[in-house]
Homo-oligomer: A and B are copies of this chain.
């Protein structure tokens, strides 16, 4: 491949452009026509500027390769705060500031053992494992017990205390590979990681093992947060790779199986940290905020490249691109890098609380936290009484973004911006192609080399374009561009 196919692509490109122009022009006339043409050219400029002058990829290289994994409370998280504050300081924004927070400070320690012991089937074998975030450790001696396998919390509850007490519970429900969107598959399986260990503890289990959250069959264990029970029903919880989950399941099916677990992770005192914030003040409606953001913390293993270094760098790039093209927004465009999404969500909650105290109004908030892959569109949500108006208003301009392969869907936003919902604005989530995400998510494999520069930039340009449209037209379906 192929000078041949590329000729055809040129034809496609030509057709798309003609179709776009005609479809846009056919329904509008006069000034409206000029506005559409102006918008189309400005959005083209946003994409071209991002592809040729973006710094998002270089910033991400530093964040991931020089700073690395940055769990809330860690020195790396502090370095990430300072790095991104400095980056935003170079962009000639109207203000850059830090919002102080106290965040949970969980540490992994240096031991994670899940060992099948003296199995008549397999003998003794270590499984590929990683402690779940927020988990308590086993203590230096570890613990050993018989393991029982369940597919769900419901199944565990049906078994009841008699079957569970004193045992290690192994949650082994796979993510459903038949789902087209892997986030749907994740949603169908992650409950056993979040709530499974606490529910097992309530029935007297002494430890929990969880199948890694991925459709891939490999040897890479995935971490992620598990719930902390305020009443103290917390037991050591460790994830194992999908290959080893299949192995363990097979062993259990053949004979009673005992497991030795050891980990020295645990929660320290809350630590000081920050949300990192920068903004361009609006010229006409400065009190209407359009927020773009991601979360600055990541898991400690890997480099937090797709989750969520990519989303943070894209968000800063939105402001950078607007500056680069000399766009002066009518509304306030604010970039927020939230701290502690992964194991507490303190940054998102405190941001909204502070915003409410200041009587702010976020007309829209757009989060990128689905990886730095090719963007396929945006999901959006709002309080029920406003949703239809917002969706209709934004849809009216969406023909401008369809040529870039972007769709607009009902439903979806982001964990950090969700607490802003009560302000009554529109919440949106960038929706990247999802097939590769759970190959890397929460693992040592989530590294810079897995991010493609053009795909990262496409996402940033898509976000910038949506910010532009909302800034120009508002969300009430009435406002004209000035």
Contacts and interface: CB of A to CB of B under 8 A. Distances in A.
A1 B429 contact: no
B5 A370 contact: yes
A10 to B, nearest CB: 5
Interface stretch (A185-193, A198-206, A279-287): A185-193
Interface stretch (A32-40, A44-52, A98-106, A267-275): A44-52
B5 A429 contact: yes
The interface centre, meaning the residue of A3, A51, A455 with most chain B CB atoms within 10 A of its CB, is A3
A308 B4 CA distance: 15
A403 B180 CA distance: 10
B455 A12 contact: no
The interface centre, meaning the residue of A51, A376, A435 with most chain B CB atoms within 10 A of its CB, is A435
Interface residues of A, number: 67
Contacts of A405: 180, 376
Interface stretch (A66-74, A148-156, A408-416): A408-416
A411 B8 contact: yes
A215 B8 contact: no
B412 A8 contact: yes
A377 B6 CA distance: 16
Contact of A454 (B184, B215, B369, B452): B215
A181 interface: yes
A379 interface: yes
Given A5-B412, A47-B180, A308-B1, A435 B374 contact: yes
A453 interface: yes
Contacts of A414: 2, 4-5
Contacts of A184: 6, 9-10, 13
Nearest to A454: B435
Nearest to A217: B453
A75 interface: no
A250 interface: no
Quickly give the copy total for this chain.
2
A7 interface: yes
A300 interface: no
A410 B16 CA distance: 9
A405 B411 CA distance: 17
A12 B194 contact: no
B369 A48 contact: no
B6 A186 contact: yes
A181 B411 contact: no
A381 B8 contact: yes
Given A6-B190, A433-B374, A11 B369 contact: no
A321 to B, nearest CB: 14
A411 B404 CA distance: 17
B411 A1 contact: no
Given A433-B374, A454-B182, A415 B13 contact: no
Contact of A429 (B8, B15, B441): B8
A405 B308 CA distance: 24
Nearest to A14: B411
Nearest to A5: B183
Contact of A411 (B2, B11, B454): B11
Given A1-B307, A4-B418, 19 more contacts: A2-B341, A2-B414, A4-B415, A5-B413, A6-B188, A9-B184, A9-B186, A9-B411, A9-B412, A10-B188, A11-B412, A12-B410, A12-B412, A52-B177, A180-B403, A180-B405, A374-B374, A376-B405, A436-B452
30 contacts: A1-B308, A1-B415, A2-B341, A3-B187, A4-B415, A4-B418, A5-B370, A5-B415, A8-B413, A9-B187, A9-B379, A10-B188, A11-B412, A15-B409, A15-B411, A16-B409, A47-B178, A48-B178, A51-B177, A52-B177, A52-B178, A177-B454, A180-B405, A182-B454, A216-B453, A374-B374, A374-B433, A376-B405, A435-B458, A439-B452
Interface of A: 1-16, 47-48, 51-52, 177-184, 186-188, 190-191, 194, 215-216, 307-308, 341, 369-370, 374, 376, 379, 381, 403-405, 409-415, 418, 429, 433, 435-436, 439, 441, 452-455, 458
Q: Which 5 A-B pairs have the closest CB atoms?
A: A6-B187, A11-B411, A8-B412, A9-B183, A4-B415
